[in-house]
């Protein structure tokens, strides 16, 4: 079920009306049923994958809690990893790896003709498998005691606001809220509605309108001039940010209506002064997941600088592959791995964000130059993320390097960039994601009215799926 659909507009009020009439235990059971209904609305057949992943990790968690022998505990932990990554690998990467193997064999002059399977990709499988698997890894490392109630654990895995596109919540943060008695006050309701209005504005007005330009240019690269391609690249940077952060805002807002606070997943990433800072601000829940369960187990920054660079590259290559079964995503991840390694090489351990970026003229100039440079190297990597093939990405880069045609400004993309920058500016300066809401009741009401009215008149409600649904 899409947030930007008529079905959700009916679903959410019904869920809230029933939810507010129930006590905590009944609320959890009802939310679990609602979450399965929400996911099953897309394709009920894949509910079995969600249930099996939940059942396996719940059983593994209890086993890890009761068994003392480390060898047996390790085998149990690997059972969870194999089941979750097995589901993910089969449904998401089977055809990709087979196709790549066939291409490699043919490149060596060997005959290879394999019929690929027509496998549907379950929506959100990358998100809920990572969330469920993180629980068993935390129990294995004794960071959290095993959950004893299966239905509460099933709700943790399937909680519908963040089920299909995150944020990827940790058991230590979300589960205590599910166990506790929740009280929903007017501040939570008002801030929740405000976040939802912001999210729909980002998605339906900014992201979906810019997507029309981006899709048009990428669909006719043979006839597009270089300035059109440049603004399409800028446009995609705005599209993917507003699309994905818009989803996160709606998810956080919806959860607040139920007295549950989801983690912040975006923190004004295009105001990052360097690439390390960018990854502290972009898709924060995935960045933390990759850091805790991949980068640190690989050795992190222990063992010398070259091993640190290697670990960064491996982490980002696998992070790129997590996004999709295409070599373009691997290149995207590799570029970010390279960016991070080079920045680490130059800055060393001095990679913390400046707490006062405009404390002096020198700091102000440094901040502006850093933000502009970081934004543009991120945009360059976005070319590979948006392109459907390496050949298409190469065409875009060639059009940017070898200018074709005159220069013309696309005012629609420019306007979207300025609006997105305006929305994020105060939260960035104040270090508060909800700074516009917290600026005062009149300011919050003004922005809420603007978001609602502009979304109503200029939003695109064609039920366009969120970009990250495909991951």
Q: Which residues are catalytic?
A: 323
Q: Is residue 9 within 8 Å of 15, Cβ to Cβ?
A: no
Q: Is residue 236 within 8 Å of 214, Cβ to Cβ?
A: yes
Q: Is residue 40 within 8 Å of 164, Cβ to Cβ?
A: no
Distance CA 9, CA 297 (A): 43
Distance CA 247, CA 449 (A): 19
User: Rounded to 5 degrees, what angle do the CA atoms 174, 176, 178 make?
Assistant: 75
Task: Work out the angle between the directed axes of helices 47-66 and 125-140 (0-180°, nearest 10).
Answer: 10
Q: Is residue 271 within 8 Å of 241, Cβ to Cβ?
A: no
For 409, the 3-state DSSP assignment is: coil
Task: Tell me the CA distances in angstroms from 98 to 5, 22, 110, 120, 324, one per residue in order.
Answer: 36, 50, 15, 16, 15
How far does CA 261 lie from the centroid of its chain?
17
Task: Tell me the CA distances in angstroms from 77 to 59, 61, 173, 291, 469, one per residue in order.
Answer: 11, 8, 21, 19, 28
Distance CA 34, CA 200 (A): 22
Residue 424 structure tokens: 């994020």
For 452, the 3-state DSSP assignment is: helix
* Among 61, 261, 254, 257, CA closest to 180: 261
Distance CA 241, CA 222 (A): 27
Name the one residue in this structure whose structure tokens are 């947030």: 3
Distance CA 14, CA 37 (A): 13
Residue spans of alpha helices (H) in 20-111: 24-40, 47-66, 70-88, 94-107
Distance CA 295, CA 293 (A): 6
Name the one residue in this structure whose structure tokens are 């809690």: 65
Distance CA 382, CA 306 (A): 27
* Among 186, 96, 167, CA closest to 126: 167
Distance CA 324, CA 322 (A): 6
Distance CA 129, CA 54 (A): 9
């Amino acid at each position: 079920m899409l947030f930007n659909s008529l079905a959700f507009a009916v679903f959410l009020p019904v869920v809230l009306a029933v939810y507010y009439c129930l006590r905590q235990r009944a609320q959890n059971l009802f939310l679990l049923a609602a979450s399965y209904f929400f996911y099953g609305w897309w394709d009920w057949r894949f509910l079995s994958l969600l249930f099996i992943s939940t059942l396996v990790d719940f059983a593994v968690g209890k086993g890890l809690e009761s068994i003392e022998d480390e060898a047996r505990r390790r085998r149990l932990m690997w059972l969870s990893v194999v089941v979750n990554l097995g589901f993910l690998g089969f449904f998401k990467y089977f055809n990709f790896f087979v196709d790549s193997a066939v291409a490699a064999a043919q490149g060596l002059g060997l005959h290879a003709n394999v019929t690929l399977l027509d496998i549907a990709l379950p929506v959100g499988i990358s998100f809920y498998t990572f969330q469920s698997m993180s629980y068993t890894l935390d129990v294995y490392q004794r960071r959290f005691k095993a959950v004893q109630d299966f239905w509460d654990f099933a709700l943790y895995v399937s909680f519908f606001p963040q089920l299909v596109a995150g944020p990827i919540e940790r058991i230590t943060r979300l589960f205590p809220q599910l166990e506790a008695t929740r009280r929903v006050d007017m501040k939570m309701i008002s801030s929740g509605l405000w976040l939802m209005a912001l999210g729909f504005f980002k998605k339906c007005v900014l992201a979906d309108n810019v997507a029309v330009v981006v899709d048009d240019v990428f669909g006719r690269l043979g006839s597009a001039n270089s300035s059109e391609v440049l603004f399409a690249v800028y446009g995609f940077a705005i599209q993917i940010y507003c699309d994905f952060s818009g989803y996160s805002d709606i998810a956080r807002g919806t959860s607040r209506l139920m007295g549950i606070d989801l983690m912040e997943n975006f923190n004004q990433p295009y105001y990052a002064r360097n690439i390390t800072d960018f990854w502290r601000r972009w898709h924060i829940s995935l960045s933390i997941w990759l850091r805790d369960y991949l980068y640190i187990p690989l050795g992190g920054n222990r063992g010398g600088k070259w091993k640190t660079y290697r670990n960064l590259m491996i982490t980002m290559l696998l992070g790129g592959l997590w996004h999709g079964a295409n070599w373009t995503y691997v290149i995207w991840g590799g570029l970010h791995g390279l960016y991070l390694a080079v920045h680490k090489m130059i800055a060393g351990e001095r990679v913390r964000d400046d707490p006062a970026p405009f404390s002096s003229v020198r700091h102000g100039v440094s901040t502006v130059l850093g933000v502009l440079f970081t934004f543009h190297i991120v945009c360059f990597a976005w070319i590979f993320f948006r392109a459907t093939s390496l050949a298409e990405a190469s065409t875009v880069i060639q059009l940017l390097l070898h200018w074709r045609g005159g220069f013309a400004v696309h005012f629609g993309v420019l306007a979207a960039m300025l609006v997105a920058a305006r929305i994020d500016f105060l939260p960035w300066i104040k270090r508060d994601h909800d700074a516009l809401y917290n600026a005062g009741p009149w300011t919050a009401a003004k922005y809420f009215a603007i978001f609602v009215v502009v979304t109503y008149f200029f939003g695109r409600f064609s039920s366009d799926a969120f970009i990250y649904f495909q991951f």
